[in-house]
Amino acid sequence: MDDDISFMKILAQAEQLIRFVNDLIEGELTRKGVTDIAPCTGDIFFYLSEHGSCTLTEIAEQTSRAKPTASLTMKALVGRGYIEKRKSEEDSRCCMFYLTEKGLALQPTFEKIRRKLNCRTRCGLSPEEIRTLETLLNKSYITLSTPKPKCNCGCDCGCNDPDSL
């Protein structure tokens, strides 16, 4: 029972972090007069600003989105004028995405957000604690996202049961 409570606390804290980050991003964007994009699209802007262009598949993989979700998000950003979609020069069957002038104009705002988040994240943690936190979060994600992981906890949760999640 205590393990269930601990896990629920972890999930609640993760949700609080996500909510805080989204509120921070939304607040910064609103201060800049940008109210037509969701905070969760920041990673797309970061990726495009670092790489110049990319395919839909790259965006989906690099931002951990399902391809249909990435497609809808990119379509919305294209429709709002932040991103441009063009046929690839190397393969006309493939489309490439680029930041438009309007999208490029947001780079300083997203860079400020990135610096603020990095600073706030590091504020109370040592470099070793940051590495440990990153390792543990990544390990948890891999375990939860892997179908039917081998249970090493010796619990009676039924996670090795073929009919369980």
In this prediction, residue 165 carries a pLDDT of: 54
Query: What number of other Cβ atoms are within 10 A of residue 51's Cβ?
Result: 13
In this prediction, residue 149 carries a pLDDT of: 56
Which residues does 57 contact at the CB level (< 8 Å), separation at least 6? 67
In this prediction, residue 154 carries a pLDDT of: 61
Task: Enter the DSSP assignment of 4.
Answer: H
pLDDT tens digits along 72-104: 999 999 999 999 999 988 888 889 999 999 999
Residues in the chain: 165
Give the pairing of strands 83-87 and 95-99: antiparallel
Strands (E), 14-102: 53-54, 83-87, 95-99
The two tokens of residue 151 are 């249970």
Task: Enter the DSSP assignment of 98.
Answer: E
pLDDT tens digits along 24-52: 889 999 998 999 998 888 889 989 999 99
Enter the pTM of the model. 0.73
CATH T-level fold of 38-115: Arc Repressor Mutant, subunit A (1.10.10)
Write down the domain spans for the chain: 38-115
